Amino acid sequence: MNFGAHVSIAGGIYNAPERAINLGCECFQMFTRSPRGGKPPELKDEIVEKFFENCKHASLTNYYVHTPYFINLASHKSELRENSINLVREELSRSSLLKVKSMMTHIGSSKDMKRSDAIENVVDSLNRVLDAYDGHTELLLENTAGQGHTIGITFEEIAEILNKAESKKIGVCIDTAHMFASGYDLRTDKDIKDLENIIKNTVTFDKIKLIHGNDSKVDFNSGKDRHEHIGKGKIGEGGFRSIINNKQLNKFDMIVETPPEGVKEDIQVLKELRDKAES
Ligand SMILES: [Zn+2]
């Protein structure tokens, strides 16, 4: 299992690999633009070349992109949904240009809608995003903490979307803090074994491509999205040890998305747990 972090692209996207290495990352995640909106910085040839050079220099081959926060593929507001579809498509092509392995997006929210209508919109949006898409980067859907009316709270719901979507190439990114907050306990070996069975019976391990490794500031099943440093939250070191020891889960890269101060230590904690698991 390789560990990495979400790193900033401040000053230029080609700065991300060095930041990752300085944190001890073996893989990394980034935005390609401001997550809060606005026009994306143009990916000129020389910028892309410099990014590749810096990745090579840092020996980093596995890197991922997170889409901006405001995406809502379910929305009944047509302008927001159209913008979201265009943005996910645009991000997929920007990511492909950068040879990004996969790109995860939050699915959206069913606020002021019937849940089934929201799911129908999501499926339609995904079909349109991936229509004639044959880029390098794979699209992943991320599970949510269960806050508000977000979609993707349960693995059953994500499996339903994957089954209904035309493209069979959509993958899943599982976030530990979100799982814990939405009612999937992760604190013991037994919890991780149970999770393994749930995944086998819903989205399946073939679809999982990445793990977001975040401890949780909030209690089990609290439905809130608050990340904490590894081992310092309610999941605790034991939960991460169990994940790292699990043969189905430890084949994926794990990216931490914890507050910037302390990320280096998070990676270190995870590497130590891995070292102990191997010895
Ligand atoms: Zn996440």
pLDDT in tens, 113-150: 999 999 999 999 999 999 999 999 999 999 999 999 99
Q: Does domain 3-278 have CATH number 3.20.20.150?
A: yes
Regions in the chain scoring below 50 on pLDDT: none
CA of 203 to the centre of ligand 1 (A): 17
Give me the half-sphere count of Cα atoms (radius 13 Å) on the Cβ side of residue 181: 27
- Cβ atoms of 256 and 214 within 8 Å: the answer is yes
CA of 143 to the centre of ligand 1 (A): 8
Q: Where does residue 235 fall: left (phi above 0), alpha (psi -120 to 50 degrees), or beta otherwise?
A: alpha
Query: Known catalytic residue: 26?
Result: no
Query: Known catalytic residue: 229?
Result: no
Question: What pLDDT does 101 receive?
Answer: 97
pLDDT in tens, 86-105: 999 999 999 999 999 999 99
Query: Known catalytic residue: 76?
Result: no
Question: What pLDDT does 279 receive?
Answer: 62
The number of beta carbons lying within 10 Å of the beta carbon of residue 237 is 17
Report d(CA 56, CA 40) in Å as an integer: 24
* Closest of 128, 125, 135, 131 to residue 161, by C-alpha: 125
Give me the half-sphere count of Cα atoms (radius 13 Å) on the Cβ side of residue 221: 3
Enter the pTM of the model.
0.96
Query: Known catalytic residue: 136?
Result: no
Question: What pLDDT does 29 receive?
Answer: 98
CA of 6 to the centre of ligand 1 (A): 10
* Segment holding 5, helix H or strand E: strand 3-6
Burial class (CB in 10 A: 0-12, 13-18, 19+), 41: middle
Question: What pLDDT does 37 receive?
Answer: 84
CA of 127 to the centre of ligand 1 (A): 23
CA of 42 to the centre of ligand 1 (A): 26
Residue of 53, 69, 82, 117 marked active site: 69
Query: Known catalytic residue: 142?
Result: yes
Tell me the DSSP string of 129-168.
Answer: HHTT---SSEEEEE-----TTBS--SHHHHHHHHHHSS-S
CA of 223 to the centre of ligand 1 (A): 14
Residue of 6, 106, 229, 274 marked active site: 106
Domain boundaries, the chain: 3-278
